[in-house]
Copies of this chain bind each other. A is one copy, B any other.
Amino acid sequence: MTAEPLGKAASPSIIALLSGPDRTGLVARTGAWIWEKGGNILHASQHHDREADVFFQRLEWFPARGQDPEEEARAFHRFAASELSMQARVALSSDRPNIAIFVSKIEHCFHDIILRENAGELRGQIACIISNHDTLSTAADRYEIPFFHVPVSKDSKQKAEAEQLRILEEYEIELVLMARYMQILSGSFFQNFAHPVINIHHSFLPAFAGARPYYQAYQRGVKVIGATAHYATQDLDQGPIICQEIAHVNHRYGVPDLIQKGKDLERTAFAQAARLHLENRILVYNNKTVVFD
């Protein structure tokens, strides 16, 4: 967590994401802690999953004038852990973690996410691109982002993942965005990379998991198609869903038409998921997400 100077605000806000077993008084106690420090709450959302009996909260506040935000963030983290026994993630609104894009040859999500980053829509910076093909290296050069061609074959997968992990470490990556990366990451990869990975799948999961979802959709004759952004896990297309976009189609849509229409859904869902994650709006539990948007 590194606080960088913000353009507009004198001081960044503090964002805390809390989760843990529900207990009486949690809303009051977090509110009181901030108030006593002279903080001013901007947003406070909570959710109580009654089935799992888990409490979730997202708090965003401005610390009192003169207070060091990083210090107060650390203090809140200690308070949440020790006095409330809650899991906590605390960040500053000025944080801009490093992002790596994983991509193959299909480029619409790749361009879209980079252009949004350039336009300042994402609270993070794209630090490098890793691809199993060389196709997009020229495009990456134009965007002036380091590009690494790491070919993957059945035999080389283990070695390739080691190389990927080395690059992620070198660039201090805290988020991987799989922009239509047509390879499955192994369990070993996820064990060795301590940060989240967001994938875009081109169907409304759980329908049409696996390969060629638009072809599957065409065969089944569905009247809606969709795209699903989710945290990737080693179980393909089974991770916690962050957001889904859908559109109506009809019998006139052949597979190429579904693919083209789907691109708009993929772009939107993918960028939305990246944005929500980077604004610290997502909590994960029981393979589901709580999204405080």
Chain A, 142-158, contact with B by CB distance < 8 Å: what is the 0/1 string? 10000000000000000
CB-based nearest B residue for A143:
B142
5 closest cross-chain pairs (CB), A and B: A221-B288, A28-B31, A28-B35, A207-B207, A31-B31
A34 and B27 CA atoms in complex are apart in Å by 10
Within 8 Å by CB of A244, from B38, B121, B208, B224, lies B224
A39 and B25 alpha carbons, distance in the complex (Å): 8
Cβ A45 vs Cβ B45 within 8 A:
yes
Q: Is the CB of A222 within 8 A of B241?
A: yes
- Determine the residue in chain B with the shortest Cβ distance to A46: B44
> Interface of A with B (CB < 8 Å)?
24-29, 31-32, 34-35, 38-51, 107-108, 111, 115, 119, 121, 142, 204-208, 220-224, 226, 240-244, 246, 248, 250-252, 254, 260, 264, 268, 286-291, 293
Set B27, B47, B115: member contacting A111, Cβ < 8 A: B115
Could you name 21 residue pairs across A and B whose Cβ atoms are closer than 8 Å?
Answer: A26-B41, A27-B44, A28-B35, A43-B48, A44-B46, A47-B251, A51-B254, A108-B119, A111-B115, A205-B222, A206-B207, A207-B207, A220-B288, A221-B240, A221-B289, A222-B241, A222-B244, A223-B241, A223-B243, A251-B291, A264-B268
C-alpha spacing A80/B242, complex, angstroms = 37
- Each complex incorporates copies of this chain amounting to 4
Question: How far does the Cβ of A201 sit from chain B's closest Cβ, in whole Å?
Answer: 12
Please give, as numbers and ranges, the residues of chain B lying within 8 Å of A38 by CB-CB distance: 24
| A287 / chain B contacts, CB cutoff of 8 Å | 221
Q: Contact: B43 with A121, CB < 8 Å?
A: no
CA A27 to CA B290, docked complex, whole Å:
21
